Structure 1
Amino acid sequence: LDLYDRNILLRDRHVGRAEIKLSHLQGLPESFTSFYEIWDRTKSVSTMSHVAGKKTLSSNIGAIKLRIHYRYQQAPQLDVGNIQRVASIVPVTQIDSELEDDSNFLAQLSEAMMDSDSDKRFQKYEESSSEGSSKEMNKRHMRFATGLDDDDDDGDDDATNVQYPILDMVGSWTIAPETHKVVKAVIRIAAAFGQGFELTNAQILVAVIVLERFYRNITSERMDTGLATLEQVEHAGYFWRFSMACYGWAGINFVGKGNGIIKDFIRWRSDHECAIDFLRIPKEDLLAYEFHASKVFHPSYYVALDRATNSIVLAIRGTMSAFDTMTDLVCEYQQWKGGLVHGGMKTSALWFMTHLVPQLMAYISKHGVSALNIVGHSLGAGTASILTMMLLDHQHEFQSLMKSTKFRIQCHAFAPACCVSKDLADQYRDNIRCYVYEDDIVSRLSYGSMMDVKTMMLGAVEAAAHMGVSKVLLRSTDKDWEPTLAAVAEVRHQIKNAPVQHPKLYIAGSVFQLWRQLDDEECVEMKPASNRLCEEVLIKPAALSQHLLGILDNAFPKARESSMMVPSNGSRPASPTDLAMEKTIHLTRRKSSSSSLSSSSSLS
């Protein structure tokens, strides 16, 4: 609460700030009166790191008497066995009930199984600017029998309680109602993250430079777990092709494996044709596809029959449009299965459960397919992981429908985004495999980890105050940096040892990490790892580039060569199941040597 002294002619004078943590309101009456201290905005709790807060001896400005009306949002107590639900750090209204979703899905599955033509109703749709508007395309191409209907206005949720008059006026003219709601949800998340963030642009620049310097020689410890088996590496490389093909002609040409940008760009149904050429499959084996989806929570995808493994492959595209980005940014935590889940990705996964899975399972049952492999990259990998969890909840129903008793559901998630809490992530190690390249930032991002980054940035600005902007940017010696980096290390230590204030999300299932050898940049190794790598964002120049398609596309063939060169001595590498039980994942400084690789270097 910011208190101002109103001025008619001049700018209002800021008096001070009172802060109230919502978690402290739990158990209090819905209406109560209390006094709260008022601090200078630069001395309030949220604008200082933990270390600086302890060292600051300034007194408050005064106190303000407030009458507060607030209903604390308790997590709904559903009967989920002995698992107790975790409170959401960003309270959201649960629009859908899990039980209702299950009953709706089973009804649609039963209807699809009884429909003799259900496997012919797969959607084949590709949006192109040369083919007119999306509405014309919808009329020209066949949609699902259970296709997406126009969204009904179920009324505003809690995201719309905060009013944005300009957005409401402009948005009603320019964007769809569901997109309008998503934009408002993203704004609310940004506002929550920015509370108390009083840094100027120059200070933010200083903070990033200091943190980059701090993390320059720090990396996740390369655990001595042995290499992944050759079979594991080959499986990863095999299904990586399906994941990359989902990006269409643009992604395939980005890694240099297309027919040329101009040639593929002008092809009729270019994404469809390029995917078939890249995968080297018959046209009839591309059962369904939808490229360039123009709705939020509705990513592009395709469904292919893989005759080599007698399986169906569902590939979900990662972030490649503004609507995909909006799905990423709706990062509110929702209650789910006794834990927490990324709200945007869960909504995307529910779309697939409603509009695709019933027809997919009917096709699998009628044609004797032995497996369903769900693959994806980035946003698509997170959505694929959550969708796999949803499907595994109905595995006994699927087993009763399939001709093969060995029907299995497997997920291969490449550079996945963090999507579920750790308790959920550890439950699906047998069915979900995740592949992360070194310090990829996307596989570490969640609301909780970004709140830690915010605290680290505040600590970095405080630590660099004695140096000044000129020394940080231009002229400084290692001796100048020593006290600054020591202070940042203290802030980081405090974050790691303090009680968890902001729960983090993790990547689900078994985790494999791909590393370049320190003494040979061209040699890449794939090793089992722990999902605790998601607990900290490493501020490094290469952290973003390591998420690109070309990095993984080059890494898997090199990892296969490394696995083939290791002599078979019967030793078994540590499994991700064992690693997940580790209490901590240690970080270590690299020894400076001429053979050490710079953290910012990347595969060409």
Structure 2
Amino acid sequence: MSLACCLPIIECVYCLACARWVWKRCIYAAGHESEDWGLATAEEFQPVSRLCRYILALYEDDLRNPVWAPPGGYRMDPDLVVLRKDYDDTGGRVTPYIVYLDHENADVVLVVRGLTMGRESDRAILFDNKLGRAPFDGGYVHNGLLKAAQWVFDEEHEVLRDLLEKNPTYTLTFAGHSLGAGVVSLLALVAVQNLDMLGNIERKRIRCYAMAPPRCMSLNLAVRYADVVNSVVLQDDFLPRTTADLDDVFKSLI
């Protein structure tokens, strides 16, 4: 049989294979990945709701009269906010963040806000990434998010060290949403790599809660730092699971 006669058959097989791939992608539910996982206890989940309230506080103009915190929810005590930095303070290197001294939960908390699509500086952070550009501790991380995380650490590690030295039993928690979740995930890695700059605190005192984070580190790093970084993903949220380049994803959406 000649090659010309085989081509229609090859094309049909190829089209069927593509159709099968598209069909499986359309019916795929990311929640299946976790269907065999155990349920979190109330104690394990408690920090999530508290830290989500703190993330919402970053969107408040007046922490003493919050719009986004319903009665009975966790609220930031404005008197315990150690510092608060907005876009003017960060120069667009990272989204706004707060350092908060949470006495009730014996916790020093650094919270980073999520992506604002209307801000070019936020998009620049997210799109600053190419495969293999940013090696880190034997793996690879998102280049723009690493630069943002490193900038925050360089700016605030002395503040964090002083707070931890004054409160030696407190934990150090990083929390963020969306773009901020990616920043704090890598900020936690940077902190673990530089414990001496935080007063040589123990690794087990550092925690990170990343709410809907973009994919920002290679699998080997995710496994190695699983005791520190907790990713919180709502059901089938596609962004934390997408394998596509984030630049392509957001340009397609826009």
User: 2:49 aligns to what?
Assistant: 237
CA distance in 2, matches of 1:389, 1:214: 35
User: 1:591 aligns to what?
Assistant: none
Indicate the SS of the match to 1:328. Answer: helix
CA distance in 2, matches of 1:371, 1:408: 5
Contact kept, 8 Å, 1:415 with 1:436, in 2: the verdict is yes
CA distance in 2, matches of 1:348, 1:438: 28
CA distance in 2, matches of 1:388, 1:234: 20
Paired AA for residue 304 in structure 1: Y
Indicate the SS of the match to 1:437. Answer: coil
Indicate the SS of the match to 2:240. Answer: helix
CA distance in 2, matches of 1:274, 1:328: 32
The structural deviation recorded for 1:301 is 0.2
The structural deviation recorded for 1:341 is 1.0
- Tell me whether 1:370 sits opposite 2:166 in the alignment: no
The structural deviation recorded for 1:397 is 5.8
The structural deviation recorded for 1:271 is 4.9
Contact kept, 8 Å, 2:108 with 2:173, in 1: the verdict is yes
Change over 3 Å in CA distance of 1:271–1:348 after alignment to 2? farther
CA distance in 2, matches of 1:369, 1:300: 27
The structural deviation recorded for 1:276 is 9.8
User: 1:330 aligns to what?
Assistant: 128
CA distance in 1, matches of 2:66, 2:111: 11
Change over 3 Å in CA distance of 1:427–1:412 after alignment to 2? same
CA distance in 1, matches of 2:80, 2:129: 35
The structural deviation recorded for 1:244 is 2.5
Indicate the SS of the match to 1:374. Answer: strand
Change over 3 Å in CA distance of 1:311–1:407 after alignment to 2? farther
- Tell me whether 1:285 sits opposite 2:80 in the alignment: yes
- Tell me whether 1:438 sits opposite 2:235 in the alignment: yes
The structural deviation recorded for 1:272 is 4.5
Of 308, 322, 341, the residue aligned with 2:141 is 341
Work out the percentage of aligned pairs sharing the same amino acid. 25
Contact kept, 8 Å, 2:112 with 2:176, in 1: the verdict is yes
CA distance in 2, matches of 1:241, 1:329: 28
TM-score, normalised to structure 2's length?
A: 0.76
The structural deviation recorded for 1:358 is 1.6
1:490-527 per-residue CA deviation (whole Å, 9 max, x = no partner) reads xxxxxxxxxxxxxxxxxxxxxxxxxxxxxxxxxxxxxx
CA distance in 2, matches of 1:342, 1:351: 14
- Tell me whether 1:450 sits opposite 2:247 in the alignment: no
CA distance in 2, matches of 1:393, 1:297: 21
Number of positions where the alignment pairs a residue of Structure 1 with one of Structure 2: 224
User: 1:297 aligns to what?
Assistant: 93
1:292-316 per-residue CA deviation (whole Å, 9 max, x = no partner) reads 4463322210111111111111000
Unpaired runs of 5+ residues, structure 1, are 1-50, 57-206, 250-269, 455-536, 538-543, 545-604
The structural deviation recorded for 1:367 is 4.1
The structural deviation recorded for 1:329 is 1.1
Indicate the RMSD between aligned Cα atoms, in angstroms: 3.3
User: 1:355 aligns to what?
Assistant: 155
The structural deviation recorded for 1:322 is 2.7
1:459-517 per-residue CA deviation (whole Å, 9 max, x = no partner) reads xxxxxxxxxxxxxxxxxxxxxxxxxxxxxxxxxxxxxxxxxxxxxxxxxxxxxxxxxxx
Equivalent residues in 2 for 1:488-527, closer than 5 Å: none
The structural deviation recorded for 1:406 is 9.1
Contact kept, 8 Å, 2:181 with 2:213, in 1: the verdict is yes
The structural deviation recorded for 1:291 is 2.5
Contact kept, 8 Å, 1:244 with 1:377, in 2: the verdict is no
User: 1:143 aligns to what?
Assistant: none
Larger Rg: 1
User: 2:107 aligns to what?
Assistant: 311
- Tell me whether 1:223 sits opposite 2:35 in the alignment: yes
Paired AA for residue 51 in structure 2: F
Change over 3 Å in CA distance of 1:243–1:385 after alignment to 2? same
Contact kept, 8 Å, 1:370 with 1:406, in 2: the verdict is no
1:256-293 per-residue CA deviation (whole Å, 9 max, x = no partner) reads xxxxxxxxxxxxxx254456984534322011001344
Change over 3 Å in CA distance of 1:224–1:363 after alignment to 2? closer
1:19-68 per-residue CA deviation (whole Å, 9 max, x = no partner) reads xxxxxxxxxxxxxxxxxxxxxxxxxxxxxxxx96x969xxxxxxxxxxxx
Change over 3 Å in CA distance of 1:271–1:328 after alignment to 2? farther
